[in-house]
Chains A and B, each alone.
Chain A
Amino acid sequence: MNSSPSARQPYDGVVVCAPVTVPYRRYSTNSAHWWVGRALHELVRQAGVRPQDIDGLIVSSFTLGPDRAIGLTQHLGLSPRWLDDVPLGGASGIVALRRAARAVQARDADLVACVAADTNHVDSFRKTLSSFSRFAQDAVYPYGAGGANASFALITKNYMNRYGATREDFARMCIAQRDNALSNPHALMKKKLTLDEYLSARPIADPIHLFDCVMPCAGAEAFLVCREETATSLGLAAVRLVAAIERHNAYPDDPVQIRGGWAVDAGELWAMAGVAPDDVNFVETYDDYPVISMMQFEDLGFCAKGEGPDFVRSHTLTNAGSFPHNTSGGQLSAGQAGAAGGYLGLTDAIRQLTGKPLGAPVPDARVGVVSGFGMINYDRGLASAAAVLARAA
């Protein structure tokens, strides 16, 4: 083996288009299959194709059980020649995009539908938590059963201890995202968030308080991946994929998570994209908790490790601000529809870069970074991924 890994092939000619959001609901009596069906129905309508034209399908869902992607082909009457499941939670969107991109480049498929959907029944959250992973069952859930809130409370507390972040810093992020959400008609959170409301919210698992947490809900997100000429022939506004990375179980020896796999591969991401962090017009992070967004700023190279708090203090994070972040409100304000939360940044980014945002536009958006994070198997998120997208020339 060489000591350094091979350089990646570029994603030349690959585009993303037809972003679909099925409006979220706090609870749904419908199944995950229903939400997937709605998303694909809207996807073919928007793309102006027939369902049988979809020759690639890739699916992410926590609540589809006992079915998986293969069962959906029969359920929905599709006959793809390329099929995949991505059970990576918040990293699902970018990982699906990476896999689909290679499929269309290699012509294993021409039109890949990427879809993530989850339902949210009353009590389905507890059931998901209690059986989320073997390590969670053996070594986390029996300790207070606080779920992700408790695990991220420990990560947040450790980060605050180590780098001096304060609740006010996280407030800046949450409040800016809420401002972005106010113009997004689909966002579940409709009211402006004030600093005082943020700080005085009830504690969930110290230092995590109510507005540091996403609201679990039902919903679906989808998009199409194809070659540039396919999008052109369909008359679809499309966005180029210029670079993407994924990394799993990075830095296992850190006693508590202070960084994710982005830090391993960010250099390659920027090199492949041919742009620098300063060239980016907006960033969509995976915001299950604000501390994780702060880590993504650092690990993706927008600032150095430990400078996240200062970075947040010195920028305005709204769409009109100096560092537009989570442009439709992110999961913190739009809601977390299970695995669809891992797609939210991508559908947003496609809309911003094609000039059709759900809410307030980022002025002159040409390049956006989307990042994903998922699967807290024991004490930390294992999957991290990021992509650079650019407006088609």
Chain B
Amino acid sequence: MTRPLARPRRKNPLKRTRAPLRPPAVRSRTAHGLTAAAAEGHFALQVCTDCRTVIYPPRDACPACLSPRVPFTNIDNGGTLVAETSVHTSTEVYFRERTPWRVGVVALDRGPSVVAHLHGDVAEGARVRVELKLDKAGAPVMMALPEQDTPDMADDPQLREVTCDPKFRRVLITDGRTAVGQALAKAFSEAQASIVFVGVADPWKPFPGMNSLRAIERVEIVPLDLTDTESVTEQAQQNGARVDIVVNTAEHVRAGGIVDRHGLTVAREEIDARYFGLLRLAQAFGPALRARGADGVNSATAFVNLLSVHALMNWPEYGSYSAAEAACLSAAQCLRAELRPGGVKVLNVFFGPLETEWFQTVPPPKVAPAALARAVVDALKRGLEDVFVGDIAQDVRQRLAVNPKALERELAG
């Protein structure tokens, strides 16, 4: 049985903050097929197109028939734990300070044996489900979990190394004026975050939902305006060293493309609120996040970007907006590389049109703010890196994988 996490004590400021270390990160190019699956929470191994053999470790030819056609394919993740060990002596410093570290061999129902990290609630001989996770190095690893959920299983120390669970962590939501920001505050509070800082620009100005936001347990409203460098810097000085998860909820949604707009006023606002806002936020909070990646139970763990799925492919009806979102996506990729040394994940949550004022004229399906908030918390609990929320986002994701050019033409209407 997993021992429930103890609420972390207040940190002794005289004690040294443990420097984040990373497990071995090098993988072959082919093995990044596992990275892609882990990033979205799928369990995919190579399956030979010609003879259907399931292949692991990743290879460039089928070991049963030598076919070069061995694409990664989502498959069933059931198996049996055949043998386990606890590693007491490791050559890597990351594991040295975490020993004993349990690993085992799982015989997958679909064929191959995989070496996997073990959840504390799995025992030799037992049925397990194997999930692909991204470890502190951002590299894909197999993790064997009990076949059925067990009490407090998310608190398992080895599992918590590969997730970004908000439990007992401190969260900053950058904009509490939006419906999404308010839904997220509620979701993080319910997920047992220890403090939910919610940024509000000009907090003396009332806004819809203000009272119910204040009423959420462990919510603390703080002044924050992402379009104002000074405001962001001040907030980072105030709370930057005790924020473990940053969620950028800044929105700037205006319909319209490029040719029919006059001048750059709206585009400037879009870029300022979204792209420069993200940069201000990352510059102010990034260094402390990266330094605190191994700071105990409430270590820094994630930077969350909410991105329109049209960051991936322009939607000309909201063309200028899509371009600003694309800029944010590109910046998020840079941020991912920059925060990885701290073991801090950058989670990109792609969504389609929201059930909010600014998408009033857009027909359904649309994403309810509460659904988006649930998806964010769920993705953090699972340790994902890319999620697609709602039917439109899922649809765009799939069409992009099949034929991006078709998607481009079809989004043009």
Contact = CB atoms under 8 A, between A and B. Distances in A.
Given A157-B85, A205-B86, A379-B115, A143 B105 contact: no
Contacts of B105: 154, 158, 255-256, 379
Given A137-B27, A150-B103, A154-B104, A145 B85 contact: no
Given A125-B91, A144-B101, A378 B57 contact: yes
A138 to B, nearest CB: 4
Interface residues of A, number: 38
A131 B34 CA distance: 19
B139 A142 contact: yes
B90 interface: yes
B297 interface: no
Interface in B79-132: 82-92, 94-95, 100-101, 103-105, 107, 113-117, 124
Contacts of B56: 139
A129 interface: yes
- Residue of B82, B101, B103, B135 most packed against chain A (CB within 10 A): B103
Contacts of B85: 146, 150, 153-154, 157, 205-208
A130 B91 contact: yes
B82 A141 contact: no
B26 A137 contact: yes
A321 interface: no
A292 B104 CA distance: 19
B195 interface: no
Interface string A249-280: 00010011000000000000000000000000
A129 B26 CA distance: 13
A47 interface: no
A203 interface: yes
A153 B101 CA distance: 13
Nearest to B111: A253
A126 interface: yes
Interface string A143-166: 111110110011101100100000
A140 interface: yes
B103 A146 contact: yes
A141 B88 CA distance: 14
A165 B116 CA distance: 24
A138 B27 contact: yes
A272 to B, nearest CB: 30
B63 interface: yes
Interface in B302-338: none
Nearest to B90: A145
Given A137-B26, A137-B28, A379-B115, A146 B83 contact: no
Contact of A138 (B31, B95, B124, B135): B31
Nearest to B26: A137
A81 interface: no
A146 B89 contact: yes
Contacts of A256: 82-83, 105, 113
A142 B141 contact: yes
Nearest to B125: A161
Contacts of A157: 83-85, 124
Contact of B83 (A131, A147, A158): A158
Contacts of A205: 85-89
Contacts of B115: 139-140, 143, 154, 379
A204 interface: yes
Given A130-B24, A150-B103, A255-B82, A143 B116 contact: yes
Contacts of A161: 83, 124
Contact of B91 (A129, A138, A139, A142): A129
B23 interface: yes
Nearest to B32: A138
B49 to A, nearest CB: 20
Interface in B328-385: none
Interface string B30-41: 110010000000
Interface in A357-375: none
Contacts of B90: 144-146
Nearest to B63: A252
21 contacts: A130-B26, A130-B92, A131-B26, A135-B57, A139-B31, A139-B58, A139-B114, A141-B24, A142-B139, A143-B115, A146-B85, A146-B90, A154-B103, A158-B83, A203-B100, A252-B63, A255-B113, A256-B82, A256-B113, A379-B113, A379-B115
Give 7 closest A-B pairs by Cβ, nearest first: A145-B92, A153-B85, A144-B87, A139-B57, A146-B87, A158-B83, A126-B91
Interface of A: 125-126, 129-131, 134-135, 137-147, 149-150, 153-155, 157-158, 161, 202-208, 252, 255-256, 378-379
